[in-house]
Amino acid sequence: MSLTSEAVRIGVAGLGRAFVLMQGAFHADPRVRLVAAAAPRAESRAAFEDQYGGAAYDSVEAMCADPEVEAVYIATPHQMHREHVEAAARHGKHVLVDKPLAVTLEDGTAMVEAAEAAGVQVIVGPSHSFDAPVRLARDIIESGEFGALRMIQAFNYTDFLYRPRRPEELRTEEGGGVLFSQAVHQVDIVRLLAGGMGRQITAMTGDWDPERPTEGAYSALIGFEGGAFATLTYSGYAHFDSDLWMGNVGELGHEKPADGYGAARRALKELDPAREAALKSTRTFGSATPLRTPEHHEHFGPVIALLDRADLRLTPDGVEIFGNETREFRAAPGTDRPRHGVLDALVDAVRHGRAPAQTARWGMASLEVCHAILRSAKDGGAPVRLEHQVKTDHGETSK
């Protein structure tokens, strides 16, 4: 077997909820193989060794030193990303780091520099900019078939703030709230569709529940090079559910049960922080029930892109095109391979030296937008200029 056709050998840093959400993708793709893991909980390490037969470590540094590991999937809490990306880079490992790239811009800058100095590829994801309908919409926009992109509307209403949280997930300065975990998805999507180069942003945020003391909502307006602009709105306060506008398909591509409304808030009733953290641990590897294969692509709420001669509506199955005189639907392939866009990027990066749009510098640009939303809101909606933006690029070969 040639090196280019051999499965990429992956070590996983962190066996929490993020890894659980990626498991199905790893299982469904023969181009990758899990060979090692690092996690602080002995139960999680034992479960990994039992299921995958690979080595399990109690430190990320030790796992990165394992010569069997070619690439590291970093699925640890946001504030640990810098330390773990730098460890992988020191050992010459390519990296898939869960969004966001980091919490602070200083950490993001250090991660970019560490990766470039070591000559390793860093991919920031999974994010919903990898979703097949988003990539199909980007292809349609880039083709020029319907003229220039003029405006994007992206909005999402979820129960995010009332899902089980560790205490730090409700502290903005540690990456908690909806900005760093949720806004980055919308930012990635609209930046990919609009070409990446944001110029200016104005925004407001909402912090409306004293028992969940962090940002639970925001609305932002981003202007892009070339004149296109995008509006982004998100609420995680668990009232209206915008999945109703997505065919009642949830974010992970599963059809939602009819009796699910209000379940998040009900589950948290009368829980103290310690019991809530314990409830969160039941969603980690070794404790959580494996996710079933989704019936549809993942999505991040309604997105509509307005072009000169058509409006594009992204759905969990593809893109609906409303033209001047005709209307059509273009399906996005690959629903049998969850998150295949992320693993396409990883395999291309490791085996062929091709970087996707979502590089470390891309992640830094999206992180900048999240900070700009907070800064603009703090200043009463004052405009904030963006300085770390990068263009949407595909298939760049590393030097």
Residues 6 or more apart whose Cβ sits within 8 Å of residue 325: none
Q: Which residue has the tokens 């939602």?
A: 256
Does residue 260 carry a pLDDT above 80? yes
- pLDDT (0 to 100) of residue 1: 44
- pLDDT (0 to 100) of residue 202: 98
Does residue 91 carry a pLDDT above 90? yes
Q: Are 162 and 264 in contact (CB under 8 A)?
A: yes
- pLDDT (0 to 100) of residue 140: 98
- The model's confidence at residue 58, banded by pLDDT at 50, 70 and 90, is very high
- pLDDT (0 to 100) of residue 283: 66
Residues 319-375: tens digit of each pLDDT: 999 999 999 999 998 878 889 999 999 999 999 999 999 999 999 999 999 999 999
Does residue 269 carry a pLDDT above 80? no
| Mean pLDDT, range 81-101, rounded to an integer | 98
Share of the chain above pLDDT 70, in %: 93
Among the residue ranges 39-43, 80-84, 215-219, the one predicted with the least confidence is 39-43
| Mean pLDDT, range 206-218, rounded to an integer | 96
- pLDDT (0 to 100) of residue 277: 64
For the chain, the farthest-separated pair of C-alpha atoms sits apart, in whole angstroms, at 61
- pLDDT (0 to 100) of residue 396: 42
| Mean pLDDT, range 95-115, rounded to an integer | 97
Residues 19-47: tens digit of each pLDDT: 999 999 999 999 999 999 999 999 999 99
| Mean pLDDT, range 40-57, rounded to an integer | 94
Rounded to whole angstroms, the Cα distance separating 28 from 294 reads: 12
- pLDDT (0 to 100) of residue 289: 67
- pLDDT (0 to 100) of residue 381: 98
Does residue 235 carry a pLDDT above 50? yes
Tell me the domain boundaries of the chain.
3-128+338-360+388-397, 132-334
Is 258 strand, coil or helix?
A: coil
**Helices in the chain by DSSP H: which ranges?**
17-28, 42-52, 60-64, 81-90, 105-118, 132-143, 178, 184-194, 263-268, 273-281, 340-352, 360-378
Does residue 49 carry a pLDDT above 50? yes
Q: Are 17 and 44 in contact (CB under 8 A)?
A: no
Does residue 394 carry a pLDDT above 60? no
Q: Are 126 and 98 in contact (CB under 8 A)?
A: yes
- pLDDT (0 to 100) of residue 267: 82
Torsion from C-alpha of 261, 264, 270, 271, nearest 10 degrees: 170
CATH topology of domain 132-334: Dihydrodipicolinate Reductase; domain 2 (3.30.360)
- The model's confidence at residue 268, banded by pLDDT at 50, 70 and 90, is confident
The CATH homologous superfamily for domain 3-128+338-360+388-397 is: NAD(P)-binding Rossmann-like Domain (3.40.50.720)
Give the mean pLDDT of the chain.
93
Query: Which has the closest alpha carbon to 120: 344, 325, 346?
Result: 346
Residues 155-211: tens digit of each pLDDT: 999 999 999 888 889 999 999 999 999 999 999 999 999 999 999 999 999 999 999
Among the residue ranges 153-162, 219-228, 267-276, 302-311, the one predicted with the least confidence is 267-276
